[in-house]
């Protein structure tokens, strides 16, 4: 009997420690950075958005009606992302969730990118998509799958991932993300389209290519489909 009490006590202590650790951790960031200021009067941004008086909330604060409208895929990458995050639905503030609709032209793609603050689950509604993600260093394992309507795939938070329309017809997907403001970093745009430009010396050594290749890539217009 004494041993059972011992194990119960240990279990309770372990649970209590877990709860304390969870509540002691910092909240997840909802923007790229948040520089501290000593005077609250100088503070403009918070981790998220300021909250409306609940008595002033209305149904429109929780509503969006644009998901039936196809996005314009007439661009270099052949895709268009329609976001539904806290910028479109103010009522999402603090709720830790958002969505996107992605339209793909035939052979269009959502280029390799990451969401620094969210895991994503994507469901294909129309067409056929080749999707995948790459794990972190040093393995850099590639996980891929061809998805058909009604099938879903998960992209873990922060990992580089992509979708490519392998069909001759348009494709449509809906995705849920685990942040009200997931953020997006499109790899090519960030590396070769940064402002100001990353030094060519850095990129030639990193990619082990001639400077002419780097100059060419930096001179391109990197379409911000996200």
**Contact of 153 with 131, CB cutoff 8 Å:** yes
CB atoms < 10 A from the CB of 54, how many?
Answer: 6
Sheet containing 160-165, strands listed edge to edge, beginning at the edge strand earlier in sequence = 142-147, 129-134, 160-165, 109-114, 185-186
Binding residues for oxalate: 110, 115, 120
Using a 10 angstrom Cβ sphere, with 0-12 exposed, 13-18 middle and 19 or more buried, the burial of residue 64 is middle
User: Alpha carbon 145 to chain centroid distance?
Assistant: 19
Whole-Å CA distances, 178 to 3, 50, 129, 184: 42, 20, 22, 13
* Phi and psi angles of residue 33, each rounded to the nearest 5 degrees, phi first: -160, 165
Binding residues for Mn(2+): 113, 115, 120, 161
Closest CA relative to residue 180, chosen from 84, 57, 45, 52: 84
């Amino acid at each position: 009997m004494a041993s059972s009490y011992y194990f119960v006590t240990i279990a309770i202590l372990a649970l209590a420690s877990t709860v304390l650790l969870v509540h002691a951790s910092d909240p997840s960031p909802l923007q790229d950075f948040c520089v501290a200021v000593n005077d609250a009067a100088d503070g403009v941004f918070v981790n998220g958005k300021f909250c409306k008086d609940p008595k002033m909330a209305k149904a429109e604060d929780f509503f969006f009606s644009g998901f039936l409208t196809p996005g314009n895929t007439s661009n270099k990458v052949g895709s268009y992302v329609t976001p539904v995050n806290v910028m479109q639905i103010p009522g999402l503030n603090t709720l830790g969730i958002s969505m996107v609709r992605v339209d793909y032209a035939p052979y269009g793609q959502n280029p390799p990118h990451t969401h620094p603050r969210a895991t994503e689950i994507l469901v294909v509604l129309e067409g056929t998509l080749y999707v995948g993600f790459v794990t972190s260093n040093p393995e850099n394992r590639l996980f891929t799958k061809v998805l058909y309507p009604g099938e879903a795939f998960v992209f873990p938070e922060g990992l580089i991932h992509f979708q490519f329309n392998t069909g001759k017809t348009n494709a449509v997907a809906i995705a849920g993300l685990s942040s009200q403001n997931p953020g997006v970093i499109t790899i090519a745009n960030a590396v070769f389209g940064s402002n100001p430009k990353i030094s060519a010396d850095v990129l030639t050594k990193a990619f082990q290519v001639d400077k002419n290749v780097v100059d060419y890539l930096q001179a391109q217009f990197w379409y911000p489909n996200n």
